[in-house]
């Protein structure tokens, strides 16, 4: 074996297929599995996530129950599958709200000056100055605990970050030749923003949306853990973690299994986002 291949990390750098498998293949496989469970939970041969068997409460993983039962005797695997729907809704709706409204505000702040830009930047600074989780917690308490209200609160929380990303990407594009050519040809401001600037920064926004999706899953889990997320008996991963927090020494699987599912999902989203970011900017690899 050549000496240079013995250097730490040299073998890994020389295996692009192995790197691609870890960064894209395995995360995609896990996310597709979670998506399948969320969509097909009602048709799979799973017990109801609300059925209780108090005689076997806290039972560990086994042949009868693949991942065991929680402290109320409910099947953990069934609750994970149905709880994935909550994460799927939140991680889809919340980033979409931030993407649409944040991109619009950031684009307007970059293209126009004067009072409009000052007002938008002041609004964004005010929203960023307020603790995000506290803001989402207060909004959820005011609106009431439900899946849609949690998604709305987290979506509003993500608007300033999307607006910053959009403005930072739009500013260098405003002076580019194709924008000047469109303005010379008589295109309106809205046509320039929607047809010339927005498509050229769409990839950056979508890459960030994929990254923020993992943050939304953790935030939803945090709200459910605090008791202001999705109300019972609807299962959610954060609520499942909270259910077993007082019995970790006796039945650790009740909290550790949903925590592991959340961890692997967030890790997969981050790896997928990093892979897309490095494909867009190869120098970052």
How far is it, in rounded angstroms, from Cα 206 to Cα 134?
Answer: 26
Residues 6+ apart with CB under 8 A from 229: 140, 145, 150, 220, 221, 223, 236, 238, 239
Pick the CATH number of 18-39+81-284 from 1.10.630.10, 1.10.3720.10, 3.40.50.300, 3.40.50.720: 1.10.3720.10
Quick one: DSSP state of residue 231? P
pLDDT of residue 281: 58
pLDDT of residue 13: 55
Backbone φ, ψ for residue 47 (5° rounding): -70, 165
Residue in the block written with tokens 């730490």:
8
pLDDT of residue 11: 43
* Mean pLDDT per 10-residue segment, the chain (285 residues): 49 56 76 89 84 79 81 87 85 88 91 87 86 79 80 87 90 85 83 85 84 82 76 80 79 87 87 71 49
pLDDT of residue 22: 62
How far is it, in rounded angstroms, from Cα 134 to Cα 106?
Answer: 24
pLDDT of residue 101: 93
pLDDT of residue 57: 76
pLDDT of residue 9: 52
pLDDT of residue 285: 46
pLDDT of residue 127: 85
Asked if 236 and 220 count as a contact pair (C-beta separation under 8 A), the reply is yes
């Amino acid at each position: 074996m050549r000496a240079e291949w013995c250097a730490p990390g040299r073998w890994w750098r020389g295996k692009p297929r192995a790197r691609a498998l870890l960064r894209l293949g395995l995360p995609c496989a896990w996310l597709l599995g979670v998506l399948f469970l969320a969509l097909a939970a009602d048709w799979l041969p799973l017990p109801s996530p609300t059925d209780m068997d108090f005689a076997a409460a806290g039972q560990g993983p086994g042949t009868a129950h693949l991942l065991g039962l929680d402290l109320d005797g409910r099947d953990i695997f069934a609750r994970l599958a149905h709880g994935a729907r909550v994460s799927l809704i939140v991680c889809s709706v919340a980033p979409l709200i931030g993407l649409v409204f944040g991109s619009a505000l950031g684009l307007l702040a970059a293209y126009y000056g004067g009072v409009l830009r000052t007002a938008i930047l002041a609004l964004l600074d005010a929203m960023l100055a307020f603790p995000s989780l506290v803001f989402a917690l207060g909004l959820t308490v005011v609106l009431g605990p439900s899946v849609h209200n949690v998604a709305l609160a987290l979506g509003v929380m993500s608007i300033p970050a999307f607006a910053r990303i959009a403005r930072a990407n739009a500013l260098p594009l405003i002076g580019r030749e194709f924008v000047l050519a469109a303005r010379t040809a008589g295109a309106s401001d809205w046509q320039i923003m929607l047809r010339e600037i927005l498509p050229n920064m769409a990839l950056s926004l979508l890459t960030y949306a994929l990254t923020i999706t993992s943050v939304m899953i953790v935030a939803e889990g945090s709200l459910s853990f605090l008791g202001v997320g999705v109300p019972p008996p609807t299962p959610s991963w954060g609520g499942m973690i909270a259910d077993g927090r007082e019995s970790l020494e006796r039945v650790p699987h009740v909290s550790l299994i949903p925590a592991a599912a959340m961890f692997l999902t967030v890790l997969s989203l981050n790896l997928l986002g990093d892979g897309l970011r490095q494909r867009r900017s190869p120098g970052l690899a």
